[in-house]
Structure 1
Amino acid sequence: MQLRLPSSISEAQRCLAEGAVPVGGATLVWAGWQRDGFPEQAVSLRRLPEANAIGPGELGGAVLLHHVDATVPEVLHRAAGGVGTGAVRRAATVGGNIVGSTLRCLLPAALVLDARATVLTADGVYETDLAELLAKRLVLLALRWRTPLASGYRKLEGAAGGAPPLVVAVALHSGDEGRAHLRVAVRDNYDVLSGSAPCEPGAGAGEVLHALEGTELGELPAAARDAVRDQVVEVLARAAG
């Protein structure tokens, strides 16, 4: 297998046009390749500057999870820090986790940040939403978002060998005329559910939680709704303080 390491967008496009398979950090595809056979050529974006950015409003798809630091919002920083083991985080990439993984550990955090995806195809670069990114399994160059007022993340303990642990991600965003809105996303087993609610000035956590019950989050089991409540209360209290 030939591993191609483009250092420019045009070179990366050429790799894709010539049939190179995106490899990410190879933590997910390697076992499959060993079982089913290796492709003739693969492409990694680890030398592409546009895929390695990291900052308050941007995170590149080729960034290793253990490099995701406190320059990004707390919800994304903590999500990356909670993936697998240290060895996994030193190899796995942001793009590989969101697009290539069935667990999609970073997806709830990206959803509550209302992130947009800059993607790479053989024909060019464009911006899209997370739904298209996942549905078409596009090559992620970078995520971009507006910095929230506050955010939080909680990953519950899971049983060894059992279902994926519950994940709750929350972010409070500013709006017009002092209005704000709260976004919540939950990974329950392999499903990711999300919802949002307005957060008027002076509104209490109870009002926001009541509004969230009217979204698909209201379908969660009681234990998951309790985890959502706790995280919502914590983020709203932190924003108020």
Structure 2
Amino acid sequence: MWLRLPTSVSEAQEFLSDGAVPIGGATLVWATWQRDGFPDQAMSLRDLPEANTVGRGTLGAAVVLHRIGDDVPEVLRKAAATVGTGAVRRTATVGGNLVGSTLRCLLPAALVLDARATVLEPDRLYETDLAEVVAKRPLLLGLKWNDPSVSGYRKLAAEAGGPPPFVVAAAVHADADGQRLLRVAVRDGYEVLSETTPCGAGAEEAVEALRRTDLGALDATAWEAVREQVIDVLTRPSAG
């Protein structure tokens, strides 16, 4: 197998046109390749500057999870910190988690940030929403978002070998008119749900509004986790 390491977007597009298979951090594809056979060409974005950014409002797809620190909002930082073991986080990438993984541990956090995805194809570079990323599994170059005023993330305990643990992410943003909006996303099993509601009237009112959405159908334990996370986020001084 020939590993391609592009250093520019145009070079990455050339390798894609030649049939190179993106590998992310290779934590998810290696076992499959050992079973089914290795491709002739693979491609890693680890040397591509545009895929390695970590900063205010931006995160590259080739960034390994353990590099995600205080430069990003709390919700994304905590989501990354709870993925697998330390060894996994030193290898697994943002793009691999969002596109290659069925768990998509970072997806609820990215949804509440209202993140946009930059996607790389052989003949174009374009921006899209996370729904397309999940549905089509393109080659992700990176994420961009506007920082929230406050955010939070919680993962419930789960039994080893059982269903994926329930997670809830929340963030407060201001819209174009200055109105405060609360975005909440959960992973329940393998399903991810997200909702948005105004939150200027206070935490309890926001909780009641969310109760009337699809989130209200969660089981009692999951709903309580949502309620607690919403109240925690909306009662912090930075949420005002």
> Which letter maps to 2:101?
S
Is 2:95 the partner of 1:105?
Answer: no
Moved over 6 A (4+): none
CA distance in 1, matches of 2:239, 2:94: 31
Tell me the residue number matched to 2:225.
227
TM-score, normalised to structure 2's length?
A: 0.97
Output the CA distance in 1 between the equivalents of 2:19 and 2:177.
50
> What's the C-alpha RMSD, in Å, of the aligned pairs?
1.0
Conservation of the 8 A alpha-carbon contact between 1:79 and 1:106:
yes
Gapped regions of structure 1 (runs ≥ 5): none
Equivalent position SS for 2:80: helix
Deviation per CA, 1:9-48, whole angstroms, max 9, x where unpaired? Answer: 0000011111111000000000000011111110000000
TM-score by length of 1: 0.97
CA distance in 2, matches of 1:216, 1:21: 37
Q: Deviations over 1:94-140 (max 9, x none)?
A: 00000000000000000000000001001111000001112111111
2:28/2:101 contact within 8 Å kept: yes
Q: What are the within-5 Å matches in structure 2 for residues 185-196 of structure 1?
A: 185-196=185-196
Q: Distance in 2 between matches of 1:177 and 1:50?
A: 32
Distance 2:57 2:178 in 1: 21
- Please tell me whether residue 204 in structure 1 is matched to residue 196 in structure 2: no
Where do residues 76-95 of structure 1 align in structure 2 (5 Å cutoff)?
76-95=76-95
Structure 2 equivalent of residue 32 of structure 1: 32
Is residue 2:14 matched to residue 1:3? no
Residue 166 of structure 2 corresponds to 166
Offset of 1:177 from its aligned partner? 4.2
| Mapped partners of 2:191, 2:177: distance in 1 | 35
Residue 178 of structure 1 and its aligned partner are, at CA, apart by 3.6
- Output the amino acid matched with 2:224: D
- The residue type equivalent to 1:228 in the other structure is V
Q: Shift of the alpha carbon at 1:218?
A: 1.4
Is contact 1:108–1:192 with CA below 8 Å preserved after alignment?
yes
Further displaced range: 214-223 or 130-139 = 214-223
**Structure 1 counterpart of 2:214, from 197, 213, 216:** 216
Identity, % of aligned pairs? 67
Instruction: Please give the secondary structure, in 1, of the residue aligned with 2:83.
Output: coil
SS of the equivalent of 1:38 reads coil
Per-residue CA deviations over 1:113-172 (Å, capped at 9, x if unaligned) read: 000000100111100000111211111111000000100000111101111111100000
SS in 2 for 1:197: strand
Q: 2:66 — aligned with what?
A: 66
Give the match for residue 154 of structure 1. Answer: 154
Q: Say whether the 8 Å CA contact 1:164–1:190 is kept in structure 2.
A: yes
Find the aligned partners of 1:60 and 1:208 in 2 and give their Cα distance: 33
- Alpha-carbon distance between aligned partners in 1 of 2:214 and 2:19, rounded to the nearest angstrom: 39
Of 214-223 and 100-109, deviating more is 214-223
Q: Structure 2 stretches of 5 or more lacking a match?
A: none
Distance 1:22 1:30 in 2: 12
Query: 2:66 and 2:92 mapped to 1: Cα distance?
Result: 8
CA contact (8 A) 1:196 1:215 kept: no
- Distance between the aligned counterparts of 1:143 and 1:187, measured in 2? 20
